[in-house]
Amino acid sequence: MSVALATPLSQIVLSPGSAMTVSGLSWQHYQLFLAELGDRRATRLAYTDGSLEIRMPSKLHEIVNRLLSKIIFALAEELGLEIVDLGSTTWNRKDLDKGIEPDSCFFIQNAGLVQGLNPEIPPNLTPDLAVEVDIASASDQKLSIYQALGVPELWLYRSGKVKILDLRGEQIRESDSSLAFSAISVEQLQTWVELRQTGTDLTVVKAVRQFVAQAN
């Protein structure tokens, strides 16, 4: 769904699992949209070159997002890696005319740079790993935003499948294993996600811990 720029955000109602795009926005308008929406909201935003996508996550979206986040946290803990979870923090670059709100994002390799309850993020530092659940919208435009901002790794869930994307370099490519967790293959990640079909989040977390314990 798309709307005209003049449509007040207060009049736009998105149902869970839907998305809309607003075109012809300047960076200043995008910032006004952010301010009007505020932080206490369920929507996710993605902005690039005058186009703003607004998504309202569905129940499935949130289940998958939280599951992948729990897998990431369990891996970091079991492997003895520091980790900082910044959720769906907004990442903006005015000079690139781009901004995005991941479903989840984490500092792992650079966790030491963002310690504290309210850390000051160094200029142009972006998360080491982001999670994107594409259910309401399957636009590859968001992938290019992550790449331009400098996020090196993205876990993308789309059409029931998990992909690990390596965003380094000029080309986005699928990777067989995680950059943050080199011992974790995309096949293993998919197995854990499918395990949730017949179990709970804890079922999956226990499987992650068992996998790491057996591998060490």
Q: Can you spell out the DSSP letters for the chain?
A: -EE-TTS-GGG----TTEEEEE-S--HHHHHHHHHHH-SS-S-EEEEETTEEEEEE--HHHHHHHHHHHHHHHHHHHHHT---EE-TT--EEEGGGTEEE--SEEEESTTGGGS-SSS--PPTT---SEEEEEESS---THHHHHHHHHT--EEEEEETTEEEEEE--SSS-EEESB-SSSTT-BHHHHHHHHHHGGGS-HHHHHHHHHHHHHHH-
- Report the number of distinct structural domains present in the chain: 1
Residue 7: per-residue pLDDT: 60
Strand partners, 165: 154, 174
Q: Is 189 inside a domain boundary? A: yes
Q: Is 33 inside a domain boundary? A: no
Distance CA 199, CA 98 (A): 38
Distance between the two ends of the chain, CA-based, in angstroms?
Answer: 49
Q: Is 151 inside a domain boundary? A: yes
Q: Is 36 inside a domain boundary? A: no
Do residues 185 and 194 touch, judged by C-beta distance below 8 A?
no
Q: Is 122 inside a domain boundary? A: yes
Decide: residue 64, CB within 10 A, 0-12 exposed, 13-18 middle, 19+ buried. Answer: buried
Q: 140: domain CATH number?
A: 3.90.1570.10
Residue 6: per-residue pLDDT: 55
Q: Is 147 inside a domain boundary? A: yes
Angle between helices 186-195 and 59-79 (to 10 degrees): 120
Strand partners, 20: 54
Residue 9 is which amino acid? L
Residue 41: per-residue pLDDT: 81
Residue 168 is which amino acid? R
Distance CA 164, CA 148 (A): 17
Q: Is 45 inside a domain boundary? A: no
Distance CA 20, CA 69 (A): 25
Distance CA 210, CA 101 (A): 32
pTM listed for this prediction:
0.93
Q: Is 187 inside a domain boundary? A: yes
pLDDT tens for the chain, residues 1 to 216 = 455 455 665 567 788 888 888 889 999 999 988 988 887 788 899 999 999 999 999 999 999 999 999 999 999 999 999 999 999 999 999 999 999 999 999 999 999 999 999 999 999 999 999 999 998 666 688 999 999 999 999 999 999 999 999 999 999 999 999 999 999 999 999 999 999 999 999 999 999 999 999 988
Structural domain for 94, as ranges: 59-215
